[in-house]
Structure 1
């Protein structure tokens, strides 16, 4: 079982790196394992919250316990103290700038280990859109917003299909009562390479232990791919 973690504070990172982007400063919070990392997992936050979200904290903790370097990324709009997220193209710009800066760090690219990209909600969308170009081994989506609430015709299935089309596996951990689309809704798309794990809860995924357990169970498999 995954240990409980604080939902109010993501815990003290090993290092916080300020990164300049064309949209303003972003921040990368790094948690380093005790030994050389077996993999790297980089996660972005949603449009309505930050890196202290319960599911992100729990997944970060599980990854570090498994020997992974975990990075939680704060988008420029969040660092600037704004309450409304930037448009999707701007989120991609900020995300790319952070990954480029991390890749210049010797401790991030010291040896060839897997790179898993992901995030919750809007952060999951960003990861799906950029996974192929950024060389991801896999994508980890927490509460992927398949469509706006009550608007299934506004499907974002094309985004979640992008990594799979590039041969990159996608894990989706989805709440059974998520108004942005449930696990069965995503499974019904029939996308090859997309694995869906349903858990209790809605879009917030506040019952975070099953979320972390689902990700932790797949870390060993991801660690084998470089």
Structure 2
């Protein structure tokens, strides 16, 4: 589909037991929507009656690995959300993603009209540069669940009002060791039933 910064792609799956919640997920900076954590969360959400859209940013559709500037990522994301709003009726919108995708979801959540934000492997700072914190991006006023590994080189955000943080033991930034546990922790939050404990 067209966006202000080139064609984006999304895959929308609506389960037979759809209950009115739409989860929109974005990928990491150099990755794609087939990352283990995104795949696991998608499967668990669909099993619980949540519609799921996996969004591929224009720079990845064009075959580039280096991400576009933040303003372009945000504009393309909002264009996809607007299209989804026309294509599917939903009572609750949950936005999220992994790493860079989590940042995009946070920055645009209020404009998108999101009820909740799911941030997977939120990159608190560039590796080895804790002084360059991105913690302020989590302060959206929208209820947020952050799932990060305790061995994440990008750091682990601290909990704050409206921001719940769960740390997954033994996980790195990839969040690939136990996707099932990650998905179970995310699913309750996505459906509005609260996050599962790890």
Query: TM-score range, shorter-chain basis?
Result: over 0.9
CA distance in 1, matches of 2:57, 2:139: 24
Alpha-carbon distance between aligned partners in 2 of 1:116 and 1:63, rounded to the nearest angstrom: 11
Which residues of structure 2 form unaligned runs of 5+? none
1:125 counterpart = 2:107: no
Name the counterpart of 1:10. none
Any gaps of 5 or more consecutive residues in structure 1? 1-18
Moved segments of 4+, more than 6 Å: none
TM-score of the superposition, structure 2-length normalised? 0.93
- 1: CA distance between counterparts of 2:81 and 2:20? 18
Match of 2:174 among 179, 204, 216: 204
Structure-2 residue corresponding to 1:20: 2
Determine the structure 2 residue equivalent to 1:46: 28
Partner of 1:71, secondary structure, is strand
Distance of 2:127 and 2:27 partners within structure 1: 19
Paired residues of 1:114 and 1:222 also in contact (CA < 8 A):
no
TM-score (norm 1): 0.81
Which one has a bigger Cα radius of gyration?
A: 1
Deviation at 1:191, TM superposition (A): 1.8
Show the counterpart of 1:216: 187
Q: What is the CA RMSD across the aligned residues, in angstroms?
A: 1.4
1:13 paired residue number: none
Alignment of 1:140-159 (within 5 A): 140-159=118-137
What is the Cα deviation at residue 222 of structure 1?
A: 5.5
